[in-house]
Structure 1
Amino acid sequence: MATSATSDQLLVVIDPVARRTDGESVRIAKDVLGAGAAGTKVCLPDGPEEFARALVRRGSRRPVVIGDDRALVRAVGLLHRQRELADCALSLVPVGSALSLARSLGVPTGAVAAARAVLDGAERWMDLLVDDSDGVVLGTLRIPPVGGVTPLREVAADGAGHPWLRTCRSFVRTLVPARPSGIVSAPEAGPARLRVEVDGETLVDLGQPVEGVSVVPGVSGAARVEVRPASVGAEASPLSAEGRTVTVSGAHFRYRADAVVSGPVRTRTWVVREAAWGLVLPAR
């Protein structure tokens, strides 16, 4: 579902990681937005609390986030928890290194093209996965989390300027052997024993080890679920289903929702919210 983005009054929230990683793209986006909108208010939050405060106090302005996938997920999650997600569509100018979600959603990754889409694009309303702890999934949910360990250099970038975090990192370095790349690699994941239920029907049970589970919001209020059984001899065919409610349970497991790794948990349920959030994308 797509509608025109109507308000010319913009609230531009610039994620601090974007300012540090690519200040030139941030400057270009600000210039394009400032020249094309009737009124632009720019916020430069120093952390998640100020980021949240800026969005909550946006008034009638259209929110525009300049940042990466994590900034977009943070904004959607905040508006969902405030029960304000249906009140406005978000706009995103992708800046940073983690942009795979933005690309998959159809957001241009160039600063000029993305800023012009904010000004001239249309609102597209999409399904959202919401879990029983009020977490959100915009793109793909994966179990076990593929690439699920955050590099220490990313943690350092997110926490620059916070003495307490520098102290924590120093302590961690005394416990974790240094690696040439400065990254703590993900542990190798073996087959997991999980029960996956879709709309109350068991797709796979604890007796069948699985290599992985993926859940993606589909269309018309249904999620696409795929389970890859662990192969014994001949390669096992993936199991798939669609439904509004997906429950995963079993031994403690972690999961990657978009750019964020969560867990461990013993059970988690995700429910599809149809056309629950809007994003301004280039007009077709």
Structure 2
Amino acid sequence: MLHHENREMYKVEALTKSYGEGSAYNEVIKDVNFTINSGEYFLIIGPSGSGKSTLLYLLAGLETPSRGSVHVRGQDIKFFDQNTMATFHRINIGIVYQSFHLLPSFTILENVAFPLVLQGLRTKKREERAMEVLQRFGIDALADHLPSQVSGGQQQKAAIARALINMPPILLIDEPTGNLDTKSSQEVMDIIEMLHKQGGRTIIMVTHNTEFIKYSTRTIHIIDGKVYDKPSDIPSSSSPDLETMNLMEKIKANQDEDIDEFMINPFDKM
């Protein structure tokens, strides 16, 4: 189990990302500022096209800021060279993508074990560790299957297992249930919640799904590249779903009440 203190994991200052020049100039992240403490379940919520995935890639070091900075454990990652960034990723970060990014010609076991190749572990050791993680997620029976031979939910579980194989303290997650049915979505969210509660990891997730607010320890909202702490801070002209965001914030603020009862009889609670 990872142990964490209430210390700063991320510090984001005046972060801006733009593409193009002149008439083609497009600023997709606009002067964003926030901090994330170790062990938080941090949710970044916003509609399609809001810039949330770009923001996640900036936090991962997969995109370079146009202005501003992303400090991870006190280090500004935009100054990392290629080798330093590779080491940073291997030690600190696991990434889960919406589209899984599993290698189609590799088995589920080989996909999960693949990050260990960079550590120089022998095949037997890699497969033993990968099988342990697959067993934890209940998909060890699929170890010898190709990704095309398993369901979307099973592929996403394998993708999460791969992200965890190096036991990183930070897990970055991009729309983890976007391609899944309701049952698989719930199973994946249960796994992520377990990883937060039992593993002590810092989890940073981007999503459009306001129902996921109930899982987080803290939520920010992103609209048109700008970040807001509360739905009520968002200009009504900018928010396509402000009513839903406000409802979910009400649920989050009333955790002592039965959330399931609230969702069944919302007007009895308002």
| TM-score, shorter chain, exceeding 0.5 | no
The structure with more helix, counted as a fraction of residues: 2
The structure with more strand, counted as a fraction of residues: 1
- TM, length-normalised to structure 2: 0.30
- TM, length-normalised to structure 1: 0.29
